[in-house]
Structure 1
């Protein structure tokens, strides 16, 4: 199929000319809304270079296949079936999706996504003012590696850093990142495709792909700023529109796009059935009721052909079956963890005793109850941690308690969770969570307490509620910042009030504990973890005789050797540590016959 470039009115429309939009729309209507339906017909007004036939663009994660440049549906189907392993090709702008699908119904499927379009003829540059971060072009290896980690953590297929670096000067592909102004950490990314450079598009279109935001980032509006930046980029290039694809049920994101001026257009996409796309086309089973910690394990099991039976989806129970072997799990707690090992972790006093016997470092501890003894312990250590002896998800835990009044209130709060309350010496350092599976370290992450970023408009209480909603959306409802006495104590200790308005870009820590369930964030440090810390964590798991465990330590530096163990979790959340292969290693442990040799190599 061939076509030609536009002159005159089309160019003015791309630059936002006043009269051009109506003529541009009128021409589309005269063509039977061809472009709106995702394909371009020959326009006698177009003069110039023809369309590139059978056009594809390698995006690193797979090929973007421009179906409307194929004159033969059979050739389009063959192109889709040539998808390489571990890639995700997408054919978009199909004239006859039903025909192409019928040519290989066992191998292809219609993608359940909507296409949204931002027309630039009435677009005004966005007035988005990032707070605490900046958007810029991706420019070096560090950026490319950060982009790779971020996309992997969002369970997206990332382009390799080498692929990105080779295309930094590409006119077809453009890569942008959002960078935290304080730490320099990459907290968002987006990729753009220029259709004019890709295949000589006579309609001068563009598209946006691979939008991802770090769910741990505290700053609001990162995704919106990235979309606005890339829209400004293509509008400035004189493109006529920008398209994007979004899952049909992603209501929150769709509302954002519509608010920014995107309109839904009847454009369809085809993909090849593969392990990556499996959740989009598999049979009638519905695993939506599972939380992220169970779902990540179930998805990995199904990918390997292991049978899955939901026992109690709401509570995270499921059974995995392969051959004659069946194992029931509750998230990452399986029948291969004994009841005795589970009880060792459940009672923090027993955990500490066993770790001491193994020669491992732990903080000073005593049972609360006698008011005079409690105050003496506080006076001896200056600051303490108060926590229930039995409990999870950070409930009833108070950190850095310094006054007798705070101590009494914290003990009362912990007693509502467990009859036995523990006092521990407070030690400075970063909160480190290490995942051990089959007595080997698989992942490590620093856990940081919840923070908010001021915007100069909303008070601290409102910012906490807004940040809590973002954390909940990013974690499937697992992470929220409670507006309780512990949050108020943390805010007031810093000399602030809940009704106070923070300056734009000003950050404030609103929880002392770094627990994910109370709004904390995790930051992967697996590659930085020292050999010493790996060794003591594996010793701790063996001392507790628990093959799958999440160990909590306080460390001055994850690359160093100093540490103290705080507690052990018999049911760690594996989904929190992507892109580390926690679910893969868990299934390797349960069903070693399904492990790939490369995945099971020690020390990888």
Structure 2
């Protein structure tokens, strides 16, 4: 596949800032970059504070009175994260307000821009540019949400897009136009007349589903070159002390530790940073998102088996035990229906929901051969199992079918053959018989860089997926992956040309490296109706309904399966955890939310 090296028409056609180009050209010619002179005789602006949308930067070196730093932090707005940086005497600030503030457990790193050397290796498959449209702000917030960061009002991004104090850069896929990552920079000279001519890096975030490698490094380098070309002396950043992956990248680029400290305000967002330990550390992301929402509402949480996702929630004398999104409100009958794909399919067919053709592997070889001949491509999967284990998609020969039946049979005595329905894998989260989130799930793919082998690219992509999901998603290098590579004419030793995309598995399950793309706002009403009818037929209050669809905006579909324990964390920022806790403890909902639910005719809102 050939990819263009310039952005598509209508987009910003400057993949790099002109100043950064000038800096590179001068260094290649042995010239020193220009030093922009600034008026510093008046000293820095006193008590300087800069709003960045997600919170404020409080520049501690501009405060002469430590009490004033604590007072500034007390002005933090709800759902925001203010940071007092470069605090000279953090112990004094903490002593004056021990119940309000805490010492941030982050390291400060610095890059000397006068000695920084730009990389001669050009990035492949994406380009860097400034924020240019309101949709960019929405894309940035989507990435922030995926990374657990505080979102920024889109209008704030737009209103500050031309400011010279703050700059935003984005990485955009050359082919799809998707935003892959973002970075924010602050010019200290313009922010508070910094006599040291410093700058800082904030909010480096890469989409955890980005298939390109090197996006984060490219963004950091671009920001460094941008500030160096403007005559600034250094670039600072703050990074959590245990973020070894980020620290490794920064040290590779020439950053080194400097003894500066930051102070933050005690609030729900920062809670795990100052309580001494993460009470949810044994829980996986799917249980943790629910536990944190419950604690936010004052609901008592008892983690009974964190490793397996078991916990109990209590409020007002009522206790409900859960395993991730599976609670006592789901009956054993509903759970057994979801667990047995043959039972689920029979119920859906009776309900009038479209289902694919299916037989069991023990129907006999002649029946299996006839089924394959009738449908050309089939799916083989165990009747019981989850997380995509033992599922083989797009089989076209009896040799492949025989192998798949043998492998699936190791997981379950009953093995199913389904017609292979072309289209996209759509997951709909239905809670309390209402759609809460919808997302298209896509199989994992890699993009070549002209240097790494397919095996190396898969390993790199798998590490990124695992890091972004708390170890819940990775790409197994198993028989199914090898079969998919072989079908595309490749193996693990193939070196993909730069920009070429290769799908490495047929299944879109998140646990085997699949990616998820939110379509809640555009999903067709017929698909929503099918999902809700399926949930009501099973009698299950919380479920993930899987459909194969031609397009999420079109009404055509085939039902695949129902999941009794869907991963709610996969659908952030949709309010899946909020609606789950609403279901369990309706009285914990704000009165306005309860009233709105009642007005829409939801009988469970009065429970």
TM-score, length-scaled by structure 2: 0.90
List runs of 5+ in structure 2 lacking aligned partners: 1-22, 603-607
- State the 1:130 CA deviation: 1.9
Q: Which residue does the alignment assign to 2:325?
A: 332
The reply to whether residue 242 of structure 1 matches residue 242 of structure 2 is no
Distance 1:169 1:285 in 2: 40
Decide whether aligned partners of structure 1 residues 497 and 46 sit closer, same or farther in structure 2, where only a CA change above 3 A counts.
Answer: closer
Distance 1:598 1:499 in 2: 59
Q: Which residue does the alignment assign to 1:172?
A: 165
Instruction: Give CA-to-partner distance per residue, 1:251-302, whole Å, 9 cap, x none.
Output: 1111111111111111111111111111212365632121111111111111
Instruction: Give CA-to-partner distance per residue, 1:57-103, whole Å, 9 cap, x none.
Output: 11011111101111122222111101111111111011111111122
Equivalent of 2:489, from 495, 503, 509?
495
CA contact (8 A) 1:179 1:185 kept: yes
Distance 2:55 2:278 in 1: 28
Distance 1:571 1:184 in 2: 34
Q: Which moved more, 1:383-392 or 1:449-458?
A: 449-458
Equivalent of 2:154, from 161, 172, 181?
161
List runs of 5+ in structure 1 lacking aligned partners: 1-11, 22-44
Distance 2:382 2:461 in 1: 27
Equivalent of 1:433, from 422, 427, 430?
427
Q: Which residue does the alignment assign to 2:503?
A: 509
Q: Which residue does the alignment assign to 1:462?
A: 456
Distance 1:20 1:490 in 2: 52
CA contact (8 A) 2:147 2:468 kept: no
The equivalences for 1:493-572 within 5 A come to: 493-572=487-566
CA contact (8 A) 2:167 2:185 kept: yes
Decide whether aligned partners of structure 1 residues 566 and 112 sit closer, same or farther in structure 2, where only a CA change above 3 A counts.
Answer: same
Equivalent of 1:486, from 477, 480, 492?
480
Q: Which residue does the alignment assign to 1:77?
A: 70
- State the 1:498 CA deviation: 2.5
The reply to whether residue 421 of structure 1 matches residue 438 of structure 2 is no
The equivalences for 1:121-520 within 5 A come to: 121-282=114-275, 286-369=279-362, 370-520=364-514
- State the 1:137 CA deviation: 0.8
Distance 2:216 2:577 in 1: 28
Distance 2:423 2:506 in 1: 12
**Partner-residue secondary structure (3-state), 2:53:** coil
Q: Which residue does the alignment assign to 2:20?
A: none
Q: Which residue does the alignment assign to 1:7?
A: none
Distance 1:283 1:255 in 2: 25
**Partner-residue secondary structure (3-state), 2:269:** coil
- State the 1:458 CA deviation: 2.1
- Give the root-mean-square deviation of aligned CA atoms: 2.1
TM-score, length-scaled by structure 1: 0.91
